[in-house]
């Protein structure tokens, strides 16, 4: 995998809240941090990293290009602005955040611009987020096979996205799961809770361990030190084949993120 298995998400975290979360995460041992232009927190994350004293070479920084910046003449300048805010000369991974609304900017245009940013050394790897199989096919056609590092998608026990995941695995594209805990809904599931009790761990650890054992990267966020620490331990938890099979039965196609102005025709 190119993407570190367990990273720190920062969606919806702003101002001092995100500074504290990133600072605590870095203290606990997180080294992968995921943000986006639209989150409005890149500068604060840059500050938290600078204050932490953790060398840049130890970090894996991901940000995402917002839809307003997809045009060929805007993408690289917007990425350079993100780099300025994050106080670094490169990202480890830069993603296209959502497909262009109504196809306003062709996939070939923004993927070619993103590949040029990679060629210039502004980002080590490139990828996409919220892309369907059809959109991934267009993206691969634009930049060539083996270039797209990951597709970051909503994926949790209630939305297991197996068809899309199968396509990605066929093409060597890492699966990054966001919303792995399903807004906390999954943590209330009786099956998840029963498995957690069996292992004397939290339901969040069980859910993250499930995704990690399937070979996915996860980027949970939290503002609480104990949750950040607990989430980090999910990588050490091993679920049995029977438990993995049980969790597989929770699939119900429940999508929690599908903004009308952005969402493609999902697989």
Which residues have a catalytic role annotated? 39
Residue 199 annotated in ligand binding:
no
CA gap 164, 257 in Å, rounded: 16
User: From its phi and psi, is residue 239 left (phi > 0), alpha (psi between -120 and 50) or beta?
Assistant: beta
Q: Structure tokens of 25?
A: 């995460």
CA gap 136, 151 in Å, rounded: 8
CB 247 within 8 A of CB 157: yes
User: E-assigned strands of 60-147?
Assistant: 60-65, 91-96, 123-129
C-alpha R_g of the chain: 18
CA gap 141, 144 in Å, rounded: 6
Going edge to edge, which strands form the sheet with 217-218?
Answer: 8-9, 32-34, 60-65, 91-96, 123-129, 148-154, 174-178, 217-218
Annotated binding site for substrate: 97
Binding residues: 97
């Amino acid at each position: 995998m190119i993407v570190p298995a367990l990273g720190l998400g920062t969606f919806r975290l702003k101002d001092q809240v995100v500074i504290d979360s990133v600072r605590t995460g870095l203290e606990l041992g997180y080294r992968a941090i995921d943000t986006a232009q639209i989150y409005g927190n890149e500068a604060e994350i840059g500050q938290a990293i600078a204050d932490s004293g953790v060398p840049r070479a130890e970090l894996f920084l991901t940000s995402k290009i917002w839809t307003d910046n997809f045009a060929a003449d805007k993408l690289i300048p917007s990425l350079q602005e993100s780099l300025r805010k994050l106080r670094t000369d490169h990202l480890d991974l830069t993603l296209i955040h959502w497909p262009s609304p109504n196809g306003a900017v062709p996939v070939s245009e923004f993927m070619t611009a993103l590949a040029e940013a990679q060629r210039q050394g502004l980002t080590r790897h490139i990828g996409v987020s919220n892309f369907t199989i059809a959109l991934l096919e267009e993206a691969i056609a634009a930049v060539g096979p083996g270039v797209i590092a990951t597709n970051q998608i909503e994926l949790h026990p209630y939305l297991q996205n197996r068809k899309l995941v199968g396509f990605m695995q066929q093409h060597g594209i890492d699966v990054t799961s966001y919303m792995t805990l399903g807004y906390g809904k999954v943590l209330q599931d009786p099956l998840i809770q029963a498995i957690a009790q069996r292992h004397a761990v939290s339901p969040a650890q069980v859910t993250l361990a499930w995704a990690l054992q399937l070979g996915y990267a996860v980027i949970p966020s939290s503002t609480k030190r104990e949750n950040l620490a607990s989430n980090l331990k999910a990588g050490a938890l091993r679920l049995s084949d029977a438990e993995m099979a049980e969790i597989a039965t929770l699939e119900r196609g429940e999508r929690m993120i599908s903004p009308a102005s952005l969402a493609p025709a999902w697989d």
